Structure 1
Amino acid sequence: MSRSAEVTLSFAGEDRQFRLPIGRLRALQEKVDCGPMELLSRFAGGTWRVDDLRETIHQGLIGGGMDAREAAGLLKTDFDDLPLQQFVPLCQGIVMACVVGAPDEDLGEPKGEEAPMSPSPDPSSASATSTEPEPQSA
């Protein structure tokens, strides 16, 4: 089953589509000089750099379907010159969707009915019962 790893997150006052397909992920890696797991570690450890955040958002928007010029303009108005810490959770969500899938994605696990629980072992089983049955009262 194919998974898109696309995630919808709020940025610049609207819910937007973010996705890091392989080409966008490679561009991000080149810009920030590390892979996705190291990038997540930087976000979690507070050792991120400005371009870790900016490029994650930029590449994620383009991968999510936004025109590159529109994405660059949005970053100029809604990222540049703003306090940066607020963008860390957004960037973590974008990269996590790429690495493990979006939280609401169907992971392709089969869905079916659970087998009914049997109160006792199968009578034809060769296994001994662990407790003796209670005597029936008269």
Structure 2
Amino acid sequence: MTQTLHEVFGGAERKFRLAIGELRELQEKCEAGPATILARLMSYQPQSEFLKRPHPKDFDLGENDSDYISALNVFALVRNFGGDWRVDDVREPIRLGLIGGGITPTDAWVAVSRYVDTRPLTEHISLAAAILLKALSEDKDDAVGKTEVETTEPKAETDA
């Protein structure tokens, strides 16, 4: 059994849960497994948001300037690691998590349309990642693999 995350969303505390059905739908929507989606979300680097690509004209030797080459390599490295998430990587864990948490699909759609789609997506990356992380983490109270064996006392034989 997956765990339930309790977080404030849209001004109210909500429950988010991704069980196997929601995880399968998430895979279909995002065309990736839950761990890959989580990795993409975790790759977001806010410091790279306003990083601009260097231009050769800004360097004395243009494209052959070692400082330009270095700046271009740093830019490429930071942007590659920090920009791999996709729109549905953010939206769908939240929408499906709300459904798994107990609200109707229609109410989940309305909530995501109202509170995610109208704001910068980067505001919701941490929530989407937390929902996925909770779904993929072990529930310490779950009894999977811990079978309880029922024991009975042997009946006493009676001589009749």
TM-score, normalised with respect to structure 2: 0.61
CA displacement, residues 62-120 of structure 1 (integer Å, 9 cap, x when unaligned):
00101010111111111112111110110111001110046xx6466xxxxxxxxxxxx
- 2:117 counterpart SS class: coil
The answer to whether residue 6 in structure 2 is matched with residue 8 in structure 1 is: yes
1:36 to 2:34 alignment: yes
Whole-Å separation in 2 of the counterparts to 1:11 and 1:32:
22
Name the SS for the 1:80 alignment partner.
Answer: coil
Q: Which residue of 1 aligns with 2:113?
A: 76
Separation (CA, whole Å) in 1 of partners of 2:14 and 2:128: 13
Q: TM-score, structure 1 length as denominator? A: 0.70
**Identity score, percent:** 38
Residue-pair matches, total = 104
Distance in 2 of aligned mates of 1:7 and 1:77: 20
Quickly say closer, same or farther: Cα 1:95–1:23, change in 2 above 3 A.
same
SS in 1 for 2:14: strand
Instruction: Give the counterpart of 1:94 among 112, 124, 131.
Output: 131
> Which residue pairs with 1:114 in the alignment?
none
Three-state SS of the structure 1 residue aligned to 2:32 is coil
1:66 aligns to what SS in structure 2? Answer: coil
> Which structure features the higher share of helix residues?
2
How large is the RMSD of aligned CA atoms in angstroms? Answer: 1.5
Question: After superposition, what is the alpha-carbon deviation per residue over 1:4-28, rounded to whole angstroms, capped at 9, x for unaligned?
Answer: 4111111111110000000010000
Q: Point out 4+ residue stretches in structure 1 off by more than 4 angstroms.
A: none
- Alignment of structure 1 residues 1-138 onto 2, 5 Å: 3-46=1-44, 47-101=84-138, 106=141
Local SS of the residue matching 2:7: strand
Provide, for residues 106-135 of structure 1, a one-character-per-residue CA deviation record: whole Å limited to 9, x for no partner: 466xxxxxxxxxxxxxxxxxxxxxxxxxxx
